[in-house]
Structure 1
Amino acid sequence: MPHLWIRGIGPEQVKAVSRELVAELAAICECPPDNIMLECLMTTAVFDGEIVPSYPFVEVTWFDRGLEAQDRFALAVDRYLRVGCGLAELEVAFRTYEKRNYYANGESFSPSGTDRLPEPYEEELTKLRSANRKLTEDLSKARRALQSSSGGMSTKLREALRE
């Protein structure tokens, strides 16, 4: 993992750039090169009643590594496959697996059944939950204060608050 499903680019072209591509992708993902899988799919495209060349397209399936890594990964794929193979165009799409839904040899990559977010996201989520609790408490206090003081409110003030 990651796994690159490559369409519309011949295996010989991919083979010619594969060593350097895999080395860079492994560095971006901080994983061993043998974790990167390249597969060239032999597809048949049809348009307007004719068989036409398949559009160059790479689908990347992986575990989320953050947007910065994803951007760097996409640029490397583009540089090696589009530029390196002399293609006019290339599209890259990412499909992200959740560890709890990915199994190898019958065992989940998240045996506890829970995925943890990367550390910066966990910290941000904790801060947001804390802020949400505080806002909920403040709103509850304000509602109670409004209900208890509504008896002493003027009719004009009550009507203004309703609007």
Structure 2
Amino acid sequence: MPHLLIRGVPPERIRAISGSLVTELAAFCSCPEDYFLLEVLNTTAVFGGEFVPSYPFVEVNWFDRGQDVRDQVAESIDRHIRSQGIEEVEIAFRAYAEDSYYANGKKLAAESAKESELKALRSENQRLKDELQRARKASQAAGSTMSSKLYDALRE
């Protein structure tokens, strides 16, 4: 998990970008690369009684990781697919609830309180890192350096 279902894009084009795409997505999602599954679906589109090319569409099935990560993942998928000469692509996210997801007959949500706390702390840490990065970019764009007091406040 995450699982990307890809339609309307030739498999050889996805194969060409799969390594760099998964490496980037794993960094955004803070999980190992082998958690990702890319499936290129062979689809047949029909319109007006004729066979037509399938529209490029990626469905991302995952456990939600928040808006910032979702935006980064969508931008990465879009950029990688468009790098293959594909002019446009649509991306949709489907979030699974942990208490409704089973692996080998066992509910995934059976995590300990410590694991839940660690997950929450990691999420908060990522949020703070994202805020710090935005503040640094804003400071650089303004042409000034960040004061040490501001930097220390953002680090905390």
Question: Do they fold alike, i.e. is TM over 0.5?
Answer: yes
- Deviation string 1:31-69 (CA, Å, 9 cap, x unpaired) is 000001100000000001100000000000000100000
Equivalent AA in structure 2 for residue 13 of structure 1? R
Aligned to 1:131: none
1:110 paired to 2:109: yes
Q: For 1:6 and 1:27, how far apart are their aligned partners in 2?
A: 21
Count of residues in Structure 1 that have an aligned counterpart in Structure 2:
120
Paired letter, 2:24: E
Helix, strand or coil at the partner of 1:38: strand
Unaligned runs of 5+ in 1: 124-163
Give the AA of the match of 1:44: T
2:38 counterpart of 1:30: no
Q: Distance in 2 between matches of 1:10 and 1:66?
A: 30
1:78-111 deviation digits (Å, cap 9, x = unpaired): 0001x21111110000000000000101111112
1:15: which partner in 2? 15
TM-score (norm 2): 0.71
Q: Distance in 2 between matches of 1:52 and 1:89?
A: 16
What's the counterpart of residue 93 of structure 2?
94
Measured in 2, the distance between the counterparts of 1:44 and 1:119 equals 42
Q: CA deviation at 1:119?
A: 3.6
* Aligned equivalents of 1:33, 1:50: Cα separation in 2: 40
Task: Describe how 1:56-95 pairs up with structure 2 within 5 A.
Answer: 56-81=56-81, 83-95=82-94
| Identity between Structure 1 and Structure 2 (%) | 53
Larger radius of gyration: 1
Q: Provide the C-alpha distance between the structure 1 equivalents of 2:18 and 2:88, rounded to a whole number of angstroms.
A: 19
Deviation track 1:128-148 (CA, whole Å, cap 9, x = no partner) reads xxxxxxxxxxxxxxxxxxxxx
SS of residue in 1 equivalent to 2:91: strand
1:3-58 C-alpha deviation (Å, 9 max, x unpaired): 00000001100000000000000000000000011000000000011000000000
Counterpart residue number, 2:147? none
**Aligned match of 1:129:** none
Post-superposition offset of 1:2: 0.3
CA distance in 2, matches of 1:100, 1:119: 17
Distance 2:56 2:89 in 1: 5
Secondary structure at the aligned position of 2:6 is classed as strand
Q: TM-score, normalised by structure 1?
A: 0.68
Q: Which amino acid counterpart does residue 107 of structure 1 have in structure 2?
A: K
